[in-house]
Amino acid sequence: MGVLNMRSFLCRGLLVLLAALPLFASAQTAHQVVQQTTDQLLADLKTNRQAYQSNPNAFYDALNRIIGPVVDADGISRSIMTVKYSRGASPEQLQRFQDNFKRSLMQFYGNALLEYDNQEIRVLPARMEDPERASVGMEVKDSNGTIYPVSYTMVSLNGQWMLRNVIINGINVGKLFRDQFADAMQRNGNNLDKTIDGWAEVVAKAKQSEAAQASGT
C-alpha cells in the first residue's frame, strides 16, 4: 500500500475514532457508545457531505461540538505532556493545550474523514481490561477489500465511557504524540508556552511520522 493511501487511512481512522463519540447515557457499554455514535456520524456525514466540503470550518465546528463533551481531553493532554511537564503546567496552560490539541486534530484530520466513501466499518465486542477501562476494536475495509484494525481505549469517568487513546493499524497514536511533544519541548528549550502554541506544527509532523511508520521507511 502506498504512503499516501496509508496516510489517508490513518487520518480517516483517527477521525472516525475522534468523531464517533457523542454523549450517550451512562448505562451504555463502551461497545454501544462506539457503535451507535459511529452510525450517527456516518449518517450525518452522508447527509451533509456537500455542505461540509464547501465549508470545512463548519465541519470542524460540528466535530468539535460532537466530541468535546466525551473525549477525555484532560487525561489525553496530561498523558501527552507526561508527568514531567504537566505537573509544572498552570491550569491555563493545560486548558490552552487541550483546546489547541482538539482544534489541530479537527483541522488536520477533517479532510480525510470527508473523503470517506462508504467503506465497510465493523465495531467488534469490547474487551474489558478492568471495570473502568475497555478496548473496543474496529475493522475498516477499504474499496480494495483490505481490512485495517483500529483499537479504541475507553475509560469510564463518572459512569460515562470516554476516549483515552487509539491504536491504528498497530500505530499507538498516544505514544506517537508523547514522543512528538517531548521532542518539541527539547527543541524549544523546555519552553512550555512555545510548545503549546506550536502544537499544530507538531501534529503535522506526527502525521508524517505515521505515514513513515506505516510504509516501513
CATH number, position 70 = 3.10.450.710
**pLDDT band per the 50, 70, 90 thresholds, residue 10:** low
Q: Cα–chain-centroid distance for residue 91?
A: 23
Domain that holds residue 32: 3-210
Helix (H) or strand (E) holding 217, with range, is: none
Q: Is residue 171 part of a domain?
A: yes
- Cα angle value 150/135/14 (rounded, 5°): 35
Does the pLDDT value for residue 183 go beyond 90? yes
Does the pLDDT value for residue 19 go beyond 60? no
CA gap 35, 93 in Å, rounded:
34
Higher pLDDT, 10 or 126: 126
Q: Is residue 206 part of a domain?
A: yes
As a whole number, the mean pLDDT across the chain is: 81
Read off the amino acid at residue 40.
Q
Q: Is residue 215 part of a domain?
A: no
User: Residue range 109-138: average pLDDT?
Assistant: 84
Give the list of residues 6+ apart from residue 176 with CB closer than 8 angstroms, or none: 206, 209, 210
User: Residue range 36-44: average pLDDT?
Assistant: 78
Domain count, the chain: 1
> What's residue 100's pLDDT?
86
Q: Is residue 158 part of a domain?
A: yes
**pLDDT band per the 50, 70, 90 thresholds, residue 59:** confident
Q: Is residue 116 part of a domain?
A: yes
What is the DSSP secondary-structure string of 25-76? -TTS-HHHHHHHHHHHHHHHHHHHHHHHHH-HHHHHHHHHHHHTTTB-HHHH
Beta strands in the chain (DSSP E): 120-130, 133-141, 147-157, 160-168, 171-172
